[in-house]
Amino acid sequence: MIKKSLPSVFTVLNLFLGIIAIILVYTDKPSLAAVMVIIAMLMDGLDGRVARALNAQSEFGKELDSLSDVISFGVAPAFIMYVVAFSGLNPPTAWITTALFPICGALRLARFNVVEGIPGYFIGLPIPAAGGILCTLALFHQEIHPYILVACTVLLSYLMVSNIKYPSFKKVNVPKPIIWLAPLIVIAATAIAFAYPGPLSKLIFVPLVLYALYGTLQSFRKRR
């Protein structure tokens, strides 16, 4: 029973961290809120791998994962961006842009659940990557004009629902002995994240943007 439930534990932790991120940004801790989303990404990466390694995959787990992802990587990053960058803009622009991101994220997840994909690739930018980019991009709000951030949010929303192919690492299996070390990995990552929330969040921004750019540029190159 514990073996079958373990993947869902990581999924619920993902959801929990997304909710905590929303609370933190409203208590003037955007860096820590972004860190919660990043740790949620770690949980999201672990749940599927743990499920496959333990042969504990289920339709319930699949649906729970999607619902959790909408909150942690759709709603939470959008609220982080809204609070730190969009709240001073005119309401229609701020509200529509903020709502657009989780809506496109939900559409992307719904398509992922019902449409057969291409082996080794995601169709559309995965919502964890898009959410990670958005929440870490928000930390640069003092250096970037708000309307540029609006444009970036709209672009990320489009990339999620686009037909652009992005490399998938879901089939990278984790040996069973390492799975039982997952709690220690999570604790260590959390400790580092709490110790250096600002620098860590901005550091994570770079590989996520490179991932998004790689898939997008590859798509344009093939079309040409």
Per-residue model confidence as pLDDT tens digits over 30-85: 989 999 999 999 888 877 777 676 676 777 878 888 899 999 999 999 999 999 99
Which two structure tokens, joined as six digits, stand for 45? 């990466």
94-108 pLDDT, tens digit per residue, is 999 999 999 999 999
Please give the distance of CA 15 from its chain centroid, rounded to a whole number: 11
Provide DSSP, 76-115: HHHHHHIIIIITTS-HHHHHHHHHHHHHHHHHHHHHHHHS
Alpha carbon distance 86, 4 (integer Å): 42
Q: Which residues contact 119 (CB under 8 A, 6 or more apart)?
A: none
Mean pLDDT of 5-33: 89
Would residue 28 be called left, alpha or beta, if left means φ above 0 and alpha means ψ between -120 and 50 degrees?
left
Give me the pLDDT at residue 57, please: 73
Please give the distance of CA 11 from its chain centroid, rounded to a whole number: 13
N- to C-terminal Cα separation, the chain:
52
Rg, the chain, Cα only? 17
Alpha carbon distance 201, 186 (integer Å): 16
User: Domains in the chain and their CATH numbers?
Assistant: 2-223 (1.20.120)
Alpha carbon distance 153, 134 (integer Å): 7
Q: Mean pLDDT score of the chain, rounded to an integer?
A: 85
Give me the pLDDT at residue 45, please: 82
Which two structure tokens, joined as six digits, stand for 126? 């995965």
Alpha carbon distance 12, 9 (integer Å): 5
132-161 pLDDT, tens digit per residue, is 999 999 989 889 999 999 999 999 999 999
Give me the pLDDT at residue 6, please: 72
- What global pTM score does this model have? 0.87
